[in-house]
Structure 1
Amino acid sequence: MASEEGSEQLEEAGKMSVPSRHDVFDIFRDHIETWGETPGQAGKRERLKASIWYLLPPTLLAIVLAIWRVCIMNLTPFLTGLTVFTALLFGLLILIFNTGVSLQKDKASLENAHNVAKMIADLRANISYTAMVAVTLVMVLVLAIAMNPASQPIPWGWTIPLAWLGVHLLLNLLNIVSGLRRAFRNITT
């Protein structure tokens, strides 16, 4: 009987689930939840400030580039570098996942950890979202390169989403570095 249950659990664990559109929304929701913990009006102000920080700079840059109709000559080096960088983000996500699992296994280490479990969960949410933004940027770069001849500049219409996603990615990376710094500071003090 026990071997039957064990084999059923192995079969269930081996099945791959098909990602749904809800998974993407969950990643976005988890990321937004890291923008503030304060309840009430103060929390709303905190989340408003964060949304301005994450959305206004890329939007302003995209508007300026659209007004000036900026064209980019060669996107291939950007694609190469960003693809490697995206792979590194996924490596960091796996590392954070393993750290979270280790912390859950060793509950005694969490007693004096100064909210490290929450910080690890927030980092997982932020890195997941940032990886999703990086993959989106890679896909837009691939489309821009594939749809335009190599000898001509990329039309200015492609510059808008590329610049927006690039700046948004940069701001999220700064948030990840800040989160890592906070977690390290809380562990060492």
Structure 2
Amino acid sequence: MSAKWSILPLVEDHLDTFRDQRTNELRRQDYLSFYAFPLAIGIACYLFDFKMQDPASILAGIAVFTALLFGLLIHIFSMGLRVNDDPRLPKSGKLATLIDQLQANVSYSILIGIITTAFLIAAAAIRENNQPINSFLSAIITTLLVHLMLTVLMALKRTRAAYAALRF
């Protein structure tokens, strides 16, 4: 896609972070952890007929959380600029790679947050008389929420690794 709103580069950058640090090979277990596991949770929610009671409450939290991720992305951008401008730090290497990966993961987290927000808006809009939403939509939202949390945890781990790389 060449449209200005294309999300494909965000997804590609994020998936490119699923590499082994030592060998630079793609790690299949990352795909299982970040996609198959949340999907399995979502399928289980559907099979056990899980129905969300109040999507509007979750919507408020995810909307704020996604906004905070936007702020974090701006901070990562400025951190990348500072590292690039600091003559004491190499322009490539572990720290630069970690910052690039962190930027990719947080950007992707924002994308998942936006998608989750859209599903929650739809769920809140179609909900009738304070009834729970159906198990299919509940399963999709649960899958997205688990995926989002795992991706944020990966970004947190990369933040720690970047800090450790700065401590020479």
**TM-score normalised by length of structure 2:** 0.91
How far does residue 37 in structure 1 lie from its aligned partner after superposition? 5.0
- Give matches, 1:1-189, under 5 Å: 19-21=4-6, 24-36=7-19, 43-44=25-26, 46=27, 48-106=28-86, 108-111=87-90, 115-189=94-168
How far does residue 70 in structure 1 lie from its aligned partner after superposition? 1.1
Partner Cα distance (1:30, 1:50) in 2: 14
Q: For structure 1, which runs of at least 5 residues remain unmatched after alignment?
A: 1-17
Identity of aligned residues (%): 27
CA-based RMSD = 2.1
Q: 1:78 to 1:31 in 2, by over 3 A?
A: same
Paired residues of 2:84 and 2:91 also in contact (CA < 8 A): no
The secondary structure found in structure 1 opposite 2:102 is helix
Which structure has the larger Rg? Answer: 1
* Paired residues, number: 166
Aligned partner letter, 1:138:
T
**Aligned residue number for residue 15 of structure 1:** none
Higher mean displacement: 138-147 or 28-37: 28-37
Q: Would you tell me which structure has more helix in proportion to its own residues?
A: 1
Paired residues of 1:114 and 1:187 also in contact (CA < 8 A): no
Aligned partner letter, 2:5:
S
**TM-score normalised by length of structure 1:** 0.81
How far does residue 32 in structure 1 lie from its aligned partner after superposition? 0.7
Q: For structure 2, which runs of at least 5 residues remain unmatched after alignment?
A: none
